[in-house]
Structure 1
């Protein structure tokens, strides 16, 4: 796949003073993921297999696009540094060119007639002989810097083109994922949610506390279920979405509102997945949170994920780790995300969407940072 190949070339390019170890590692990982996902997708003949392959594809594109943006940022910074250095040395360059031109192509120092006679001429010749290697070295460094600027400019143009290609491809994968999720009918069901009682609970509760406390009252025919143990994974669970923590638990927002969950800044259209196997307790709009998915990974614990534009699944279904929960907003299901911004992940339109994540144990809010890996992009 051309996108994956360009990704690795771009982020592995050895440019003087241009260290991209982390971004390069991400690019290589993304390329491997894309290759594996493409193979899975070719072999997929069921909706379940297509969902898995498309989830892997979108995750790989998101990782690769993040790495490419990081590489572009570094390339832009490095080009700017080199350009400023060259501009500040315009006078030095002019003097250097003058001296080198006066020296011509001679391999030996040019003999100048000195007003002090042969002794002065000899001294000047000796001084010039000492300066010649230094002048040549400085000229070579300037030439290297100019070549680096030219290489960086070409790199950025190619990378920008591939970034647009990647954005187009990931949006196509999102559309295909929407279709595959709609076609999937093989998920096990633990209970059936009563729509009337659900509507009543939504209309009569004003807080997430009250709604979470009443979830057990809206189910019918609930069966016991044993999911994989969670205790040894607490603190190491992946964030449901790729992004950075914008606000921690109990930190007031701009309006002074304090919530017990964390807010993660994400890019438009980012894929949201289940951090672990769980039962879907609720899927849909709720209070002022927008679209909400409430997961139950074990009997006494709930994960609340709020702020999605598109949600998948239905209450009562049992899902595995990594199952798509939905997509963030910012772009429609049929619109191509043309935002090729290389701004930082927490700035401007680059991370314009926010996902709210809350953890409840026995309906008591817990700090999500004690459950999820939040020290780096998810």
Structure 2
């Protein structure tokens, strides 16, 4: 009996602990963030600045959905790890359970007896006293792991409803934000656009540099002066959208073409915002850049964001910092695709690309000298 217990104890080894953060807690926290975003959306209509409230709500949904995808990815990886390790130790676990059952089924006086006499009985008792806590600890650890598997599977099952609510909420927030932007009339204007001159400039421009150099020609009745200098924020500005840098300034793509700006990979329908207060110098289609937003934070400085699907605002308007300027293209992933990607241990793909170029006195400079991207500036 004691020999069987010792054998089981030697064979049943501890499973490695999972690194923080806990995947179940991560998924549950993401669900709470989506609930918070839903509450904010219901209150946005009564907000004094509806555009600001809806922008914050949309960002909250994007954060929550991103956290949910990451939580589900970690949940799937953790469940797969537990299942693999438990399966690999199936024999060891069976021997451990058998030893524990034998210990619990045998009366203590009988368990302590030894056929070779009192001395060996005493030794057996001391040995058993040492072995039993270790066996109990192994059993508790196994029980905790099985409970964790059950919790992870429950989270995955409940995630369908949570994701459905989150995706519906983010779509509603985008629609309401678009309407709020169309209704917005309280923004100051630095100048009025001459649409004829704008059309001529677009038709005659062969490069972004040529177009940018002629932007002053399309402005009428422009107010003197400039917005406050932002040189002190150089290297500290947030990127205009959630994403990761795909290519840095000057890096060539697969076709060998390089541009002076960086390319940010974003998820479909991501919100794009101005990182600082700025005047809209141009918005609309341009050359081969798709929809373009050109902002002027201060005289001689232009932020060019290209590749948007939807653009907000009107040429000449002055936007507060953090104002929405558009949405990226693409379509939100279906729930089945999100769950499938999570099951494979992959996150949702960042399929859209935003081109970011900064021009100082119409000369392109590395955007990472202005934006925080994780690279040392």
Q: CA deviation at 1:110?
A: 5.0
CA distance in 2, matches of 1:231, 1:180: 32
CA distance in 2, matches of 1:52, 1:280: 18
Q: CA deviation at 1:139?
A: 1.2
Q: CA deviation at 1:103?
A: 2.1
Are the equivalent residues in 2 in contact too, given 1:291–1:311 (CA < 8 A)?
A: yes
Which structure would you say has the larger Rg? 2
CA distance in 1, matches of 2:104, 2:146: 22
Structure 2 match to 1:65: 65
Q: Secondary structure at the match of 2:108?
A: coil
- Do the aligned partners of residues 138 and 219 (structure 1) sit closer, same or farther apart at CA in structure 2, a change above 3 Å counting? same
- Do the aligned partners of residues 172 and 34 (structure 1) sit closer, same or farther apart at CA in structure 2, a change above 3 Å counting? closer
- The within-5 A match list for 1:237-256 is 237-256=237-256
Q: CA deviation at 1:130?
A: 3.0
Higher mean C-alpha deviation, range 24-33 or range 269-278 = 24-33
- Do the aligned partners of residues 202 and 365 (structure 1) sit closer, same or farther apart at CA in structure 2, a change above 3 Å counting? same
Cα displacement string for residues 219-252 of structure 1 (whole angstroms, at most 9, x for unaligned residues): 2222224323301111111111111111111111
CA distance in 2, matches of 1:42, 1:183: 15
Higher mean C-alpha deviation, range 70-79 or range 112-121 = 112-121
Q: Secondary structure at the match of 1:162?
A: helix
Q: CA deviation at 1:106?
A: 4.5
Q: Secondary structure at the match of 1:58?
A: helix
Cα displacement string for residues 199-227 of structure 1 (whole angstroms, at most 9, x for unaligned residues): 22222222111111111122222222432
CA distance in 1, matches of 2:269, 2:303: 21
Are the equivalent residues in 2 in contact too, given 1:38–1:57 (CA < 8 A)?
A: no
Q: Secondary structure at the match of 1:316?
A: coil
Q: CA deviation at 1:309?
A: 0.5
Is 1:341 aligned to residue 345 of structure 2? no
Are the equivalent residues in 2 in contact too, given 1:313–1:325 (CA < 8 A)?
A: yes
CA distance in 1, matches of 2:256, 2:347: 22
CA distance in 2, matches of 1:309, 1:51: 19
CA distance in 1, matches of 2:110, 2:264: 67
CA distance in 1, matches of 2:125, 2:88: 30
Higher mean C-alpha deviation, range 276-285 or range 348-357 = 348-357
RMSD, aligned α-carbons: 2.9
Could you list the runs of 5+ residues in structure 2 that have no partner in the other structure? 1-16
Q: Secondary structure at the match of 1:140?
A: helix
Are the equivalent residues in 1 in contact too, given 2:54–2:176 (CA < 8 A)?
A: yes
- Do the aligned partners of residues 224 and 355 (structure 1) sit closer, same or farther apart at CA in structure 2, a change above 3 Å counting? same
Are the equivalent residues in 1 in contact too, given 2:262–2:367 (CA < 8 A)?
A: yes
Is 1:264 aligned to residue 264 of structure 2? yes
Q: CA deviation at 1:122?
A: 6.3
CA distance in 1, matches of 2:236, 2:30: 20
Structure 2 match to 1:306: 306
Are the equivalent residues in 2 in contact too, given 1:109–1:129 (CA < 8 A)?
A: no
CA distance in 1, matches of 2:107, 2:255: 73
- Do the aligned partners of residues 224 and 30 (structure 1) sit closer, same or farther apart at CA in structure 2, a change above 3 Å counting? farther
Q: Secondary structure at the match of 1:296?
A: strand
Q: Secondary structure at the match of 1:341?
A: helix
Are the equivalent residues in 2 in contact too, given 1:109–1:125 (CA < 8 A)?
A: no
Q: CA deviation at 1:184?
A: 1.6
Structure 2 match to 1:92: 92
- The within-5 A match list for 1:284-295 is 284-295=284-295
Structure 1 match to 2:11: none
Is 1:281 aligned to residue 275 of structure 2? no
Are the equivalent residues in 2 in contact too, given 1:79–1:152 (CA < 8 A)?
A: yes
Are the equivalent residues in 2 in contact too, given 1:280–1:294 (CA < 8 A)?
A: yes
CA distance in 2, matches of 1:116, 1:366: 89
Are the equivalent residues in 2 in contact too, given 1:280–1:316 (CA < 8 A)?
A: yes
Structure 1 match to 2:3: none
- Do the aligned partners of residues 338 and 25 (structure 1) sit closer, same or farther apart at CA in structure 2, a change above 3 Å counting? closer
Structure 2 match to 1:134: 134
